[in-house]
Amino acid sequence: MKKLSLLLCGCMAHLLSAAQTTKPALALIPQPVKVTQTTGQFVLPKTVIVEAGSSADVANVTAYLKRKLSTATGVFITVKSVAPTAPIRLILNKTADTVLKTEGYKLSVTSKKVVIHANDAAGLFYGVQTFFQLLPKEIEGLEVAKGVKWTAPAVEITDYPRFGWRGLMFDVSRHFFTKAEVKQYIDAMVKYKFNLLHLHLTDDEGWRVEIKSLPRLTEVGSHNVKKVGQFGTFTPPTPDEPRTYGGFYTQEDIKELVQYAKDRFVNILPEIDVPGHSLAAIVAYPELSCTPGADKYVVNSGEPFMDWSGPHNRAIVDNTLCPANENVYTFMDKVITEIAQLFPFGYIHLGGDECAKNFWEQSDAIKALMAKENLKTMSEVQAYFEKRLEKIVESKGKKFMGWDEIIEGGLGPNAAVMSWRGIQGGITAAKAGHEVVMSPTTFAYLDYMQSDRVNETKIYATLRLNKTYSWEPVPDSVDARLIKGGQANLWTEQVYNIRQAEYMTWPRGMAIAEDVWSPKGTKNWDGFFSRVEKHFPRFDEAETKIAPSAYDPSFDAVLNPDSTLKITLTNEVNGLDTYYSFDNSFPDRFYPKYTAPIDAPKDATTLRVITYRGKKPIGRMVTMPLAELKSRIKK
């Protein structure tokens, strides 16, 4: 009995010890390279001293830390250049740590202090972002939170990015977003260690950047008629409808945005989209077109002006610059000169995508150019244009970049390629020795619907969160050194305001962040989504909109022999229960639970579903008309 008693005591002690040392899983996004949880926790003092260097870059880090920490906690924060006993220390390595390289950091959290080491200020900044993710969700709040215990678990983290190019593209042309809204977008993206904002500044719906030598670009080209509904289907505006919707960034605005981004270790890549997508420029300067009558054109407001139905898109209105017109190159030289002065980043993106060539085919000037330059195809005509632009860009000390269409007629010698039509363009460019940024529609297009189209703003494709998370930016067949990194693209034809822009970006932006930061081969969908869910309340605190679409089921249907539907429901999030109804009522967990494909009753018209986790509803109530499901069945 004595031995049994000792054995039981030993087992109880072991269980108690295990319970005491069990630590909650950390919800860090993107997943760091190495994380070791230790014992204890850091408690934020009521008065905080931060030790940090006084260089301008480090001062940006401490200013960010101080502003965010004091806003949420109300603590008084002092920054000192030398304070070895300070509870928070930001230390630049005197000798570079070869493991961390650029932008990496080591974060140590103990019961006594928080210490971040890095080779550069950017690394300190990313260490601070990780530290904030260790604090309670209220750290993301916009005012002092009451009754919060400001603690962080003890941990040792070594972390560094997989890629140097970690971007989000924000289309501010289709709908204009204010300077304050762009800053808001930057503030959200840096939390997840993005370091590049690609601004799509010009398109058929608006020219958004002031070019002082070409004032009509913004005087005429920056506004259209306000329309609400399904973009691309609007009725043509009447002459008396006011063209007051839109706006542009002055050069002072751009300088302010560039500095705001720089202070947060973000570069801004400007895009001027030519030779296609140039209607706003042509409206301002009709002589840039090959087509007579361009002086009658207006900036597009969302009415149809392209035919996308065939294998090659055709323009109804000629929205292309004329490669045979020398005035076009003078125009582009002026634009690129001012853009190069405004944006310090080493690359300028000059579009090149979706250039309709049917008006070129009718142009005598283009035919003469082809004969003179021995150009055989319209793709070679565009390549001629792109190569001349590359020389202009390089004359300003910048590097030329374009969408993957610039490959088709032959790449310029130093062009960088952004691969969007899948990954093949990137593979082709990399095999030819060119730098590549991957941003394929198949994984990284944030304008795509996030769940079934009955729930989302309708567009031509769906991209679910788990698909985005499965992205591998480096194809097996290329030299990985030529893949600079990756980015996600948010086109805004169907995005009318910043709240919808946020909804479309998050949480898929978190998946992209992990795709381009975390080490290859470390992904786990269930683990990732469990971390994502813990960030949802943080978005609520920050008053940033986030999409709950991952909880919505996917629908598939086939016809039974009696012409009724057999319906399959699939959840991308594991561990959920789905309840349904066909009787037009609103199901909850006391309704039938989906366990296998279900047959729709003969006369039913509507399927409603909702997902639960245990006893708690977690998904949206989804209403699926059965006629909609039937219309999707391939005949």
Give 22's pLDDT tier (boundaries 50, 70, 90).
low
Q: Is 576 helix (H, G, I), strand (E, B) or coil?
A: coil
pLDDT of residue 174: 98
- Enter the tokens of residue 89: 């220390």
Question: Any idea which residue has 């039974």 for tokens?
Answer: 560
209: which DSSP letter?
B
* Average pLDDT value for the chain: 95
Closest CA to 472 of 429, 506, 421, 512: 512
Q: Is 354 a catalytic residue?
A: yes
**Stretch 241-245: mean pLDDT, rounded?**
97
Long-range CB contact pairs, 19-27, < 8 A, 24+: 23/153, 24/153, 25/530, 25/531, 26/133, 26/134, 26/153, 26/155, 27/133, 27/530, 27/531, 27/534, 27/535
553: which DSSP letter?
P
Question: Any idea which residue has 């970006």 for tokens?
Answer: 505
User: In whole angstroms, what is the distance from residue 385 CA to residue 406 CA?
Assistant: 10
Answer yes or no: is pLDDT of 143 > 50: yes
**Stretch 370-374: mean pLDDT, rounded?**
98
pLDDT of residue 25: 86
The β-bridge partners of 169 are 198, 489
Between 3-12, 159-168, 280-289, 397-406, the lowest mean confidence (pLDDT) is in 3-12
Task: Note the pLDDT tens digit of each residue in 621-635.
Answer: 999 999 999 999 987
Q: DSSP string spanning 223-260?
A: EE----SSTT-PPPPPTTS---EE--B-HHHHHHHHHH
pLDDT of residue 312: 80
User: In whole angstroms, what is the distance from residue 257 CA to residue 614 CA?
Assistant: 46
SS3 percent helix, strand, coil of the chain, rounded to 5, is 35, 20, 45
**Stretch 305-314: mean pLDDT, rounded?**
86
Closest CA to 143 of 539, 536, 541: 541
Percent with pLDDT over 70 in the chain: 97
User: In whole angstroms, what is the distance from residue 282 CA to residue 109 CA?
Assistant: 57
Sketch out the chain's domains with CATH numbers: 34-159 (3.30.379.10), 165-233+240-545 (3.20.20.80), 552-632 (2.60.40)
User: In whole angstroms, what is the distance from residue 466 CA to residue 24 CA?
Assistant: 24
User: In whole angstroms, what is the distance from residue 390 CA to residue 187 CA?
Assistant: 32
- Enter the tokens of residue 606: 């509507």
**Active-site entry in 181, 256, 354, 380:** 354
For the chain, the straight-line distance linking the first and the last C-alpha, in angstroms and rounded, comes to 77
Task: Note the pLDDT tens digit of each residue in 3-16.
Answer: 444 444 444 444 43
Q: How many angstroms separate the Cα of 42 from the Cα of each of 91, 120, 135, 151, 229?
A: 18, 25, 10, 5, 51
How many CA atoms within 13 Å lie on the side-chain side of 424? 3
Give 17's pLDDT tier (boundaries 50, 70, 90).
very low
**Stretch 156-185: mean pLDDT, rounded?**
98
- Classify each residue of 571-598 as buried b or exposed e, where b means 16 or more C-beta atoms within 10 Å of its C-beta: bbbeebbbbbbbeeeebeeebeebeeeb
User: In whole angstroms, what is the distance from residue 157 CA to residue 193 CA?
Assistant: 15
Sorted by sequence, the CB contacts under 8 Å of residue 498 that are 6+ apart come out as 177, 181, 184, 185
User: In whole angstroms, what is the distance from residue 624 CA to residue 605 CA?
Assistant: 9
Question: Any idea which residue has 């049917």 for tokens?
Answer: 358
Q: What is the largest CA-CA distance in the chain?
A: 106
Between 143-147, 172-176, 306-310, 361-365, the lowest mean confidence (pLDDT) is in 306-310
pLDDT of residue 382: 98
pLDDT of residue 4: 42
Q: How many angstroms separate the Cα of 441 from the Cα of each of 106, 252, 444, 603, 604?
A: 35, 34, 5, 39, 37
Task: Note the pLDDT tens digit of each residue in 95-121.
Answer: 999 999 999 999 999 999 999 999 999
Q: At what angle do helices 179-190 and 251-262 cross, to 10 degrees?
A: 10
**Stretch 411-416: mean pLDDT, rounded?**
98
pLDDT of residue 309: 84
With residue 218 as reference, give the H or E element that holds it.
Answer: helix 216-219
**Stretch 495-512: mean pLDDT, rounded?**
98
Closest CA to 188 of 531, 504, 452, 484: 504
Sign of CA dihedral 37, 32, 140, 53: positive
Q: At what angle do helices 508-517 and 525-542 cross, to 10 degrees?
A: 120
Backbone angles phi, psi at 254, to 5 degrees: -60, -45
pLDDT of residue 10: 47
User: In whole angstroms, what is the distance from residue 423 CA to residue 402 CA?
Assistant: 15
CA 103 to chain centre: 20
Task: Note the pLDDT tens digit of each residue in 556-581.
Answer: 999 999 999 999 999 999 999 999 99
User: In whole angstroms, what is the distance from residue 208 CA to residue 191 CA?
Assistant: 27
Sorted by sequence, the CB contacts under 8 Å of residue 311 that are 6+ apart come out as none
Percent with pLDDT over 90 in the chain: 94
With residue 63 as reference, give the H or E element that holds it.
Answer: helix 56-73
**Stretch 349-357: mean pLDDT, rounded?**
97
Task: Tell me the residue type at 29.
Answer: I
